[in-house]
Structure 1
Amino acid sequence: MTLQKTGHNFTKIAFKPLQTNLFNIVLLSFFLTIGYGNLYSQDISKKTTAIPNNKQVNTSNSVVNNKIKDTVVLKKQTDTIIKKDSIKPPKPFLDGKVKYKADQYARIDQKKKLITLYDKAELYYQDIELKAGIIVMDYEKNEVYAGRIKDSTGKYTQLPHFKQGENEVEPDSIRFNFKTQKALIWNSRSDQGEFKIKAQITKKENDSVYFLKGARFTTSANVDNPEYYFQTNKVKFIPGKKVITGLTNMVIANVPTPIALPFAYFPMSKETNISGLILPSYNDSNTRGFSLQNGGYYFALNDHYDLTVSGDYYTNGSYGMRFESSYAKRYSYRGNLNFRFENLITSERGYPDYLKQKIYNLQWSHARDSKANPNSSFSASVNLGSSKYFKQSINQANIGSNLNNQLNSSISYSKTFNSIPQVRMSLSATHSQNTQTEVINMTLPTLQLSVDRIYPFVGKDGVKKGFIKNINLQYNLSGRNTITTTDSLFFKPQMFRDAQLGMQHSIPLSTNFKLFKYFSASTSLNYEEVWYAKTIERNYDSDQSAVVDKTISGFDAFRTYSFSSSIGTTIYGTFNFGEDKKIQSIRHVMRPSVSYGYTPSFEKYYDTYAIDASGTTVKQYSRFEGGIFGAPGLSNSNTMGFDLSNTFEAKVKDRDSTKVEAKKIMLLNNLNLSTSYNLDADGVTALAWSPVRVSGGTQLLDNKMNVNFGATLDPYAIDNSGNRINLFNINNGGSLFRMTSANMTLNYSLSSKEKDDSKKDKNDQSQRNGGREDDLFGKNTVLNDNTKSQFDGSEESGDDKISEFFSSKLPWDMTFAYSLTYGNNNREKQIIGNSIMISANADLTPKWKAGISTGYDFVQNGVTFTQLRFERDLLSWRMDFNWTPFGTNANWGFFIGIKSGVLSDIKWDKRSTNTTR
């Protein structure tokens, strides 16, 4: 009531009811209540004169107020009145607490409903984080605005950083509505996976949909000045899922290219395993026409397995298919399986050089984690297929496999039974294939079973000491099924008909003991029994006029036994030169040993056959000849062996004068000599002494160079035909020993800085194909594919690298190998092999890498396989050039493409085709 103008008449009316009846009081209270409710929403007018303080008026007001409260209580008792007249409290404009701060000031304007934050302003609300130079929040409109500010030089700084959930944007300015969750963003910058996106205007429709105008997206690190980008005017962007654009044009170095698409779709799922198409690459060949290569589909089966199906097609009808799968399960196993098949057509039907052939290759690698089951293990390393695959493949150039000429495979399973005594069992299958002769040797399978040693004379204390207590025996079983075949008969019925099956049982009884305190002695007695499923019967066939072998199927066996013993010791010698010398001392360790072995004659397993039609001349043979485990010996074997191993170690003064202790260096890791003497040799059919074999090795140049050497020294002379005779070479006018062969190999690796072997490129695919782990034979090349870069991705920033370049610190590495082989079996005294191979890689500039693999054969007087490699780091792009200038594997290849895996199909790959393929 104080909001009304108070007059004299009003005062009389206000007090007059106090002297009237109850009806007038209730009527006046009703009208005053309505008036009070209407006047509550009006603005308070400023008073020019003060209202006089009248206690009676205050009393009247209190009475009226009490009347109103009572009326409200009465209204609350009536449900219909509550439904019509109750007023819901207004909903707050924000659902959570707002936290904010700023360096210079945070100003609140209640009249305009604004909160202004200036300089390093920050605002946090629910999952929204906003940082900017200036932030203005209108809490009446539920909106917030953020923008840049100028520094003292007039340059814009403190760009807004808006984050909601996992989405982050760095624009020039932003306007956001808390209620509708919509936003307008100017010059936004955001990262989505490998993409960096910048747009002139961005409209945020909701949490999952954005519309962009004047947008560019790239994988370059600098989104404001990228080396390339895709320009489009209309974009629909769903974070973490996809980007759909209108007309899209590719821009390189701010120059628009004719490369454009009417629309584009880019998947941006955060899932690691996503199935999808693999776009093929175009190529042309002089022999097979135009082609599409490496096109296919990738199947993300689950978190443990995947499958890639790809293929090639040439216009002359040639095609290829490849199936590649990788699988892994933590703490259980991991591996990969690759199968490649190619149908090759050369020339055209009707021409004399027309040729059609099918080649294939299977690779399987499997490793089981020891934590899965410590009592069993399973592993596989398979590389088999057509012998000509790596030479004729239209999709892969693997020089290492071509020069190695050998494919090997092995699959093995082993299990340990924790019984007493312990039993170990293993099953394995092996494969060895010569790609030149196309001969394949396989074992399907090999069984090995062994029972742990049993010490029958050990007491309860378990001490094994002395000759008697150390007596032990064990049981070994070896079973093999071997197959020798060729490419043309591989996995055909004839391959299995020619298989040989055999089993060997052995029970060794042995003991070891000390002799005269300084000697270690051992002796053993070995019993063997061999089972065969096939034997032979040899006779002279008069129809064929030749000696023929007839295969006899059926079980047969022979039994042998042998005895052996050995004694050895260790001798230490130190030569001291004085602590003031550079070489203070040399330590020499010798380990001589003498062994003896005896195997009697098993003539009972031998028969005779006639060598001609007359039958007068016969020879002995064993029906077990040609078996897997051989045949029993016809004559006694009574030999004594001599072995001597040596190591040489030096103690030298350390170059670091602060160190007191001398430095130990290894002079020779090993120097071994071995020979044997036949006690039953008669000097005619058998010579007593066998050649002396010398071998050794050491490491030089801070253990960076490995040196290995070996030689064979024959004490006997030879006749004019080159046969050994019972005459010592020294008695024939020669030296004490005649060197019949010798070899030496050097391997040296060095680099400008130490490398982490775990991060070093091991050329894994080349190893699986049968090549080397280093790049002495060049790097494996997959045609029309985004090959691995020489840049490992851990380079320093551009400025650091350029400054390093001017300091002449160019990273480099080199691998060096040298091999020398000498032959003199028949006094030819020739260097059979003498070759050197070098592989080097270096950074010519911070952005250029170059490499070379080459060598020279001094016997053939020619350059060995040579490969030149160049690579340019173009920031978001990569360019490389490989060239093999000469030889049967001469080829070249040029590649330029985007590094990012998302855009790996944007590339240009051109390679020459080897005419021999």
Structure 2
Amino acid sequence: MTTETNVPLDCHTFTKIGYKALQSNKHYVLFLCILFVGAFTSTAQEQKVVPLTVKAVQDTIIAPLFLAPLESNGVVKDSVATDSLNQKPPLLLDKITYKAKDYVRLSQKENKIYLYNEAEIYYQDTELKAGVITMDYVKNEVYAGRLKDSLGNYTQLPYFKQGSQIVIPDSIRFNFDTQKAIIFNSRTEQQAAAGALGSDAMKVYAEVTKKENDSVYFLSEAKITTAEDTINPDYYIRVNKAKFVPKKKVIAGFSNIYIEDVPTPIFMPFAYFPLAVGRAAGVLMPSFGNDPNTGYFLQDMGYYVPLGDYADITFSGDFYTNGSWGMRAASVYTKRYKYRGNINFRYENQVRSQKGFSDYSLSKNYNIQISHSQDTKASPNSRFSASVNLGSSEFYRNSLQQRNLPNTQNNTLSSSISYSKTFPAYPSVNMSLTATHSQLTSPTAQEDNPDNITMTLPTLQTSMERIFPFAKRDGIKKGFIQNINFQYDLNAQNRLTTNDQDFLTSRMFDNARFGARHRIPISTNFKVAKFFSVSTSANYEDVWTLETFEQRFDPETNTVVRDTISGFDRFNQYNFSASVGTTIYGTFDFGEDKKIQAIRHIVRPSISYGYAPSFDQFYDQYLDGNGNVVEYTRFQGTLNGVPRLGRSNALSFSVANVLEAKVRDKDSTKLEAKKIPLLSNLNISSAYNFESDSLKLSPLNLNGGTTILNNKMSINFSANLDPYAIDNNGTRINTLNINNGGSLLRLTRAQTNITYSISSDMFGKNKDEEEEEEDPFDYVAQSGGRTDDLFGRADSFQDRPMDSKPDGDIENPRYGTKIPWNFRLAYTAGYNNRARENTFGNHSLMFSGDIELSPRWKVGGSSGYDFQNSGFTLTQLRFERNLGSFNMRFNWTPFGQFKRWFFFIGIDASILSDLKWENRSQPIRN
């Protein structure tokens, strides 16, 4: 009998079993075998299952698509498992999405997809946009190209982006599997530094680019430039072959610089262009030249090193063939919301002439600058700050560096390092520790003051807040009693004077003086008759010193001998004062229909009375050689002066004036008039001493100031007017000047300062003025120079980056003219006539300005005239030409002690700032 069994189709397994009749002559034998097997099987099922110790081995036989047929005994003939080790992974790891504006056509015959007009393909981090894209979905390869319009112009250039890398070629072939690509006429932009934009970015153009992987590109016939136009750049570096690693470097073979497609003689057998994002250590290329005084030289050769994320340091030096040399170290550090600062150290070893000649000289000059400022949010109750500028007095005037030209006019170097701490608990106490330095640098000042350096090491200042003992702390204080208050402050100094030779040696402490002054002021104030403010005060001082000076006359030498007495000593003194004042308002109305609607005059008169006793107990006497009695105090020559000798009983008065005008605004849309200051302040003061036996009336002091021309011109003035006459020797006598045949008051001193600033922006319409943020590390300002250019500008462009033009087209209308310009002026005059000198101590006019003759031409200059000495001050002429990617400058000081010139041409972009040419003259010293 034959039976056929069908398995469901979804098993994909078909089994066919056939049965045949079994024939045997010995039926009992078969029956006994069946009984034996059944008994053995029953016994095994009742026992515990014991696992076999055979080690399992993975079957490596590949299973067929269909299961093997079963034998008649029901056992599978062979079973094969699928091997997963040799299985090839899928080629595409993500879904590809695509679209196009006009059409998307699928060709099964060519196994390709065609996308036309604004085609886009996205796959993982790869983005491709182009006018036309062809994708082979068998090879997983895509081709992208441009579109040509009816005028023959190409549009919709391919845009290829993978990760953060962007390439804009003419056409590209890219394989999704291998990630390799062939790019034709590619243009890419690499940022040279963190935050670099525009011309500071490196542009790479190549006719053929082979993308090997995500980090390596091979270029053929490439152009490297920082110009905005990569198709027709004004300059580029042409390389035949190069290896390009994005964000890291470009390694090129033979390279040649082209300017306006014209090759230059500047070439390199190989080139390396670093493209690392952020700061990186590197060599600073020097500038070279020749000078008759110093010979051939290399300047500003150095090395830059970043120090972590918050600081850096630059080492540079100068070398001259005559033996002169200089070295510099500069470091800048900053941490947001914490602190910022910089440190500059400069040293110059200057050799003049040759050894053996009469004019040979060797000078060693140095300068140290330190600036540190702490953010107020970092520590509200403590603060550390530093502003240091110290060194040789001759450093700026004799420096071999052109950048120090504006600083040659500085007469003083000053420094200050301070730490302050506030204890906020009531009563709050503020303490500060300060070290200061002041140094005269001009030759005239050094002749008048041989010890031209004054330092305090240190100054301790302590003050306690004002305390009102008779009033509640948070209540309103009324009347004489409740307004009584007192304070306490301490000022202790260790002051020393020295000169350049002894500075920073142990001899600088020979003239050190220590002194401390304690003050306790007590005051109160109240109203009288509603309109008068009355205030009274008393002040107590206690002065300490660690040495005093006794004096005696020595008849043998006929001189006064001063003996220094070491040890603690002190004196105290006190005084009383009271004042009454009020405020008077006067308004002159002219009518709202007038241009000047009103003028307001504010007068603040005040009268003060002061009394101070004489402290004769601190004075001693000795007899001189003529038998005259000489009175002196042992505190003469100490730091905080001497006790008061003679009683003071004086009445003083002052009048403060403010004059304002109310003017109708030119803008008719504004309803309210605007206020214009006619006289910002005019103060008059004098005093009368009741205790003086003569010359009781003090000179009249007058000072004032105002701003005019829309706050562009500032005028300040001061004068002294003496009511007493003088004799033929120029000494004041107890006779009023008007009674001596003169005027009521005699002008003895006058000073005026006028500054004026104007620019073309003032005449623009609806233009808001934007204040430029000052550079906190400006070298000229840190050196004590002016923040403007009235003393000239620094010639070195390493410390002062070149001004960059804004992005976009330069505004230059055909039928219009736009010439930006600016002008600054400063006038100062000082008049002296104390003893009929009738002379000007200083009288000079300084001016500076710039004008842009065209969008790319700029000229400027600064100069001045000294009317007292009948000569021009430091004069500088400046010329600047913007050449697109280049910048050319020429600075010239045509005459004077610091006669010199400086020429520079170089690339604006910081990454190629070493591609420059400089030539300069050294200062001609008289």
TM-score (norm 1): 0.89
1:636 and 2:647 correspond: yes
Change (3 A) 1:696 1:78: farther
Shift of 1:410: 1.0
Shift of 1:148: 1.2
Q: Is the 8 A contact 1:763 1:775 kept in 2?
A: no
Change (3 A) 1:757 1:87: closer
In 2, the alpha carbon distance for the partners of 1:461 and 1:183 equals: 78
Which amino acid is the alignment partner of residue 813 of structure 1?
Answer: N
**Aligned equivalent of 2:18:** none
**Aligned equivalent of 1:499:** 512
Q: Is the 8 A contact 2:14 2:69 kept in 1?
A: no
Of 771, 776, 779, the residue aligned with 2:785 is: 771
**Aligned equivalent of 1:677:** 688
Shift of 1:579: 2.8
Of 516, 520, 545, the residue aligned with 2:529 is: 516
Trace 1:86-235 onto structure 2 (pairs within 5 A): 92-193=90-191, 194-235=201-242
**Aligned equivalent of 2:273:** 266
Trace 1:511-590 onto structure 2 (pairs within 5 A): 511-542=524-555, 544-590=557-603
In 1, the alpha carbon distance for the partners of 2:187 and 2:761 equals: 39
**Aligned equivalent of 2:885:** 876
Deviations 1:673-695 (A, max 9, x none): 01111110101xxx101110111
Q: Is the 8 A contact 1:849 1:872 kept in 2?
A: yes
In 2, the alpha carbon distance for the partners of 1:671 and 1:559 equals: 37
Trace 1:75-474 onto structure 2 (pairs within 5 A): 81-83=79-81, 92-193=90-191, 194-270=201-277, 272-436=278-442, 437-438=445-446, 439-459=452-472, 462-474=475-487
**Aligned equivalent of 1:665:** 676
1:793 and 2:793 correspond: no
| More deviation, 882-891/461-470 | 461-470
1:867 and 2:867 correspond: no
In 2, the alpha carbon distance for the partners of 1:355 and 1:472 equals: 64
Q: Is the 8 A contact 1:93 1:140 kept in 2?
A: no
Q: Is the 8 A contact 2:900 2:924 kept in 1?
A: no
In 1, the alpha carbon distance for the partners of 2:98 and 2:135 equals: 10
Change (3 A) 1:78 1:731: farther
Change (3 A) 1:199 1:670: same
Shift of 1:344: 1.0
Name the SS of the counterpart of 1:226 in structure 2.
coil
**Aligned equivalent of 1:59:** none
In 2, the alpha carbon distance for the partners of 1:502 and 1:32 equals: 113
Q: Is the 8 A contact 2:864 2:872 kept in 1?
A: yes
**Aligned equivalent of 2:53:** none
In 2, the alpha carbon distance for the partners of 1:658 and 1:186 equals: 61
Which amino acid is the alignment partner of residue 737 of structure 1?
Answer: L
Deviations 1:338-383 (A, max 9, x none): 0111111111111111111110000011100000111111111110
Matched residues, number: 849
In 2, the alpha carbon distance for the partners of 1:503 and 1:759 equals: 41
In 2, the alpha carbon distance for the partners of 1:364 and 1:25 equals: 98
Q: Is the 8 A contact 2:67 2:79 kept in 1?
A: no
In 2, the alpha carbon distance for the partners of 1:728 and 1:79 equals: 143
1:816 and 2:825 correspond: yes
Change (3 A) 1:459 1:100: closer
Shift of 1:543: 5.2
**Aligned equivalent of 1:719:** 727
**Aligned equivalent of 1:710:** 718
In 2, the alpha carbon distance for the partners of 1:198 and 1:87 equals: 45
Shift of 1:823: 2.2
Deviations 1:44-75 (A, max 9, x none): xxxxxxxxxxxxxxxxxxxxxxxx9776999x
**Aligned equivalent of 1:758:** 772
Shift of 1:158: 1.3
Shift of 1:401: 2.5
Q: Is the 8 A contact 2:657 2:681 kept in 1?
A: yes
Change (3 A) 1:454 1:73: farther
Q: Is the 8 A contact 2:829 2:840 kept in 1?
A: yes
Of 619, 623, 646, the residue aligned with 1:606 is: 619
Deviations 1:9-60 (A, max 9, x none): xxxxxxxxxxx9569999xxxx9999xxxxxxxxxxxxxxxxxxxxxxxxxx
Q: Which runs of 5+ in 1 are unaligned?
A: 1-19, 35-67
Q: Is the 8 A contact 2:68 2:79 kept in 1?
A: no
In 2, the alpha carbon distance for the partners of 1:498 and 1:84 equals: 99
Shift of 1:892: 0.5
| % identical aligned pairs | 52
Shift of 1:573: 1.0
Shift of 1:601: 0.8
Shift of 1:151: 0.7
In 2, the alpha carbon distance for the partners of 1:276 and 1:692 equals: 64
Shift of 1:913: 0.2
Of 911, 918, 921, the residue aligned with 1:902 is: 911
1:826 and 2:826 correspond: no
Q: Is the 8 A contact 1:473 1:508 kept in 2?
A: yes
Change (3 A) 1:459 1:294: closer
| More deviation, 170-179/813-822 | 813-822
**Aligned equivalent of 2:849:** 840
Which amino acid is the alignment partner of residue 147 of structure 1?
Answer: G
Q: Is the 8 A contact 2:804 2:908 kept in 1?
A: no
Which amino acid is the alignment partner of residue 618 of structure 1?
Answer: V
Name the SS of the counterpart of 1:527 in structure 2.
strand
Q: Is the 8 A contact 2:257 2:264 kept in 1?
A: yes
TM-score (norm 2): 0.88
**Aligned equivalent of 1:483:** 496
Change (3 A) 1:95 1:77: farther
1:698 and 2:709 correspond: no
Shift of 1:268: 0.9
Deviations 1:254-292 (A, max 9, x none): 11112111111111111x221122222212221111111
Which amino acid is the alignment partner of residue 784 of structure 2?
Answer: G
Which amino acid is the alignment partner of residue 789 of structure 2?
Answer: D
**Aligned equivalent of 1:745:** 753
Shift of 1:85: 9.1
Change (3 A) 1:726 1:211: same
In 2, the alpha carbon distance for the partners of 1:488 and 1:888 equals: 25
Deviations 1:744-779 (A, max 9, x none): 211111111164223467993211111100111111
Which amino acid is the alignment partner of residue 822 of structure 1?
Answer: Y
Name the SS of the counterpart of 1:391 in structure 2.
helix
Root-mean-square deviation over aligned CA pairs: 2.5
Of 850, 858, 870, the residue aligned with 2:867 is: 858
Which amino acid is the alignment partner of residue 797 of structure 1?
Answer: D
| More deviation, 451-460/518-527 | 451-460
Change (3 A) 1:391 1:79: farther
Q: Is the 8 A contact 2:750 2:832 kept in 1?
A: yes
1:892 and 2:905 correspond: no
Deviations 1:621-659 (A, max 9, x none): 111012211100111111111110000111123323343
Q: Which runs of 5+ in 2 are unaligned?
A: 16-64, 192-200, 447-451, 763-768
Deviations 1:808-864 (A, max 9, x none): 111111111112222222233334433221111111110011111012223333222
